[in-house]
Chain A
Amino acid sequence: MKPRVYLIVALLLIPLQASLFGPLSLGGAAPDLGLAVLYCVGLLTGPIEGSLAGIAIGLTQDLGSASLIGFSGFTRGLVGLFTGLLGRRVLDIQSPSNIIFLFVISLVDSLFSALFLEITYGSVPVFGLFFGRAILRAATTAVTGYGILRLMTGKNVLAWIRRRELQKES
């Protein structure tokens, strides 16, 4: 996809996450729309484009929040890279096992953030966060991500992306 498409997607993700997904939260944990979209992008486009998309989405999320600039860019970039590799080598895009993979990725993302905050600021209740919020967030994110994937495969987006890739190669 073109960089400006990623920029628009990244800029739209913040308000969509904040205003639309806030009310949909389960036990105070809303699905992480950025991570769900990034998972789909990584699977569909590969590790290079996945990591670039992850960095772009993460940096925009950093700018739209109170977190350190570059932190989400770094972690989301790694997620994009990892899902890109998964999509190329392991996973079938239409498989329901994507729910489990996205669930685990979301858990690792939350755990990494909590550990980083613990190292930086101290006294962060890592286990409380993990069992209290991260699991619920991972569950809602996994379902949302799988829903987006199904929507994309149902609307022939996959065929369109592959056609574009073939056009590029030729």
Chain B
Amino acid sequence: MPGFFEKNKKHIAILILFLFLFWLVTYQVKAGRFTVLERPVLAVSGFVERIISGTYNAVISIGRGYVFLVRAERENLRLKNELGRLRLENQITNELLSENERLRAALGFMKLNSPASVVVQVIGKETSPSSSTITVNKGSSSGIGRDHAVITPDGVVGRVQTVLPGTSRVQLLTDPGNTIAVRVQRNREEGLLEGKLDRCALKYVSYYVDVQEGDLLVTSGLDGIYPKGIPVAVVTKVRKHEASSFQTVYADPVVRISRLEEALVLLK
């Protein structure tokens, strides 16, 4: 018997390692994801991503005639950022206007305070078959913290998962571990939107709730992460099952994640 173990010690060690990993995964399904060693890995990967992304962007910029159009490009970037902020303010204003009309309570003025934000550049996109994250080029030194909302002028991108001084990892809204409190803009029905890799799904929507294809889902603000009224996703499929008290609602993000280059991190 000892001879068997001695002869197969490598195989036994690997079998134990597999069993340990299996236990680790099943444990996290119940207890939640471990966050050990996230920061050192992000430090190394973020550093290399910055170098590669910087080189890539530099080559692209030269290709676009950056040398001759430096001033125009800077001005363009500034105007783009300003346009983004204005579109965001416009969306929040529209949401407030809609709310006011619905309540028929146009009494007085409501001062709109845009949350402070930082413009970040995407330097890496992770493409694991089981999760969706991106890496951005700013971190805690710019005031970014864990669970800060990440948006674009079009809508929600996700939330900050891990932060280092000069880099952050953002968990996208399509990641299966990400949940956002939303409401249907049309009729104010509430729900929880969960990431499903390519798209999202509304959880625990009662069979009798009126949700239709084409409905816009906006943040409800109840999760304490995203400000109220930011567009999140558009309902693309509604399935009602006679045997279930819930319906299955799928929605596509309003932000084109695959084309994302810049985003805003809202500072709390």
Task: Tell whether, in the assembled complex, residue B18 and residue A60 are in contact, meaning their CB atoms are under 8 Å apart.
Answer: no
Question: Is B116 part of the contact surface with A, judged by Cβ < 8 Å?
Answer: no
Specify which chain B residues have a CB less than 8 angstroms from the CB of A16 in the assembled complex.
48, 52
Interface size on A, residues (CB 8 A): 55
Please report the C-alpha to C-alpha distance between residue A133 and residue B14 in the assembled complex, in whole angstroms: 32
Q: Which of A67-83 contact B (CB under 8 A)?
A: 67-74, 77-78, 81
Please give the distance in Å from B237's CB to the nearest CB on chain A: 9
Please give the distance in Å from A34's CB to the nearest CB on chain B: 8
Q: A61-B128, A66-B133, A69-B33 are in contact. Are A20 and B56 (CB under 8 A)?
A: yes
Please report the C-alpha to C-alpha distance between residue A121 and residue B197 in the assembled complex, in whole angstroms: 12
Which of A15, A110, A113 has the most chain B CB atoms inside 10 A of its CB? A15
Please report the C-alpha to C-alpha distance between residue A25 and residue B41 in the assembled complex, in whole angstroms: 24
Question: Is A157 part of the contact surface with B, judged by Cβ < 8 Å?
Answer: no
Interface string of B237-268 (1 = CB under 8 A from A): 00000000000101000000010000000000
Question: Is B127 part of the contact surface with A, judged by Cβ < 8 Å?
Answer: yes
Task: Tell whether, in the assembled complex, residue A19 and residue B49 are in contact, meaning their CB atoms are under 8 Å apart.
Answer: yes
Specify which chain B residues have a CB less than 8 angstroms from the CB of A121 in the assembled complex.
176, 194, 196
Question: Is A22 part of the contact surface with B, judged by Cβ < 8 Å?
Answer: yes
Specify which chain A residues have a CB less than 8 angstroms from the CB of B34 in the assembled complex.
69
Task: Tell whether, in the assembled complex, residue B194 and residue A65 are in contact, meaning their CB atoms are under 8 Å apart.
Answer: no
Task: Tell whether, in the assembled complex, residue B248 and residue A123 are in contact, meaning their CB atoms are under 8 Å apart.
Answer: yes
Choose among B20, B41, B133 the residue that contacts A11 (Cβ–Cβ < 8 A): B41
- Closest B residue to A29 by beta carbon equals B127
Task: Tell whether, in the assembled complex, residue B21 and residue A65 are in contact, meaning their CB atoms are under 8 Å apart.
Answer: no
Question: Is B113 part of the contact surface with A, judged by Cβ < 8 Å?
Answer: no
Task: Tell whether, in the assembled complex, residue A19 and residue B197 are in contact, meaning their CB atoms are under 8 Å apart.
Answer: no
Choose among B21, B41, B196 the residue that contacts A64 (Cβ–Cβ < 8 A): B41
Specify which chain A residues have a CB less than 8 angstroms from the CB of B25 in the assembled complex.
68-71, 74
Interface size on B, residues (CB 8 A): 58
Q: Which of B1-24 contact A (CB under 8 A)?
A: 10-11, 14, 17-18, 20-22, 24
Please report the C-alpha to C-alpha distance between residue A114 and residue B199 in the assembled complex, in whole angstroms: 13
Specify which chain A residues have a CB less than 8 angstroms from the CB of B250 in the assembled complex.
123, 125
Specify which chain A residues have a CB less than 8 angstroms from the CB of B178 in the assembled complex.
66
Question: Is B210 part of the contact surface with A, judged by Cβ < 8 Å?
Answer: no
Q: A interface, by DSSP: helix, strand, loop or mixed?
A: helix
Please report the C-alpha to C-alpha distance between residue A162 and residue B217 in the assembled complex, in whole angstroms: 59
Please report the C-alpha to C-alpha distance between residue A145 and residue B22 in the assembled complex, in whole angstroms: 27
Choose the segment among B63-71, B72-80, B92-100, B118-126 that binds chain A (4+ C-beta atoms closer than 8 Å): B118-126
Please report the C-alpha to C-alpha distance between residue A121 and residue B192 in the assembled complex, in whole angstroms: 13
Question: Is B203 part of the contact surface with A, judged by Cβ < 8 Å?
Answer: yes
Question: Is A30 part of the contact surface with B, judged by Cβ < 8 Å?
Answer: yes
Interface string of A72-100 (1 = CB under 8 A from B): 11100110010000000000000000000
Task: Tell whether, in the assembled complex, residue A123 and residue B124 are in contact, meaning their CB atoms are under 8 Å apart.
Answer: no
15 A-B residue pairs with CB within 8 Å? A15-B124, A17-B127, A19-B48, A19-B123, A19-B124, A22-B125, A52-B14, A63-B36, A66-B177, A66-B178, A69-B36, A70-B21, A78-B18, A129-B198, A133-B197
Give me the interface of B with A, judged by CB distance under 8 Å.
10-11, 14, 17-18, 20-22, 24-25, 28-29, 33-34, 36-38, 41-42, 44-49, 52-53, 56, 123-135, 161, 169, 171, 175-178, 194, 196-199, 201, 203, 248, 250, 258
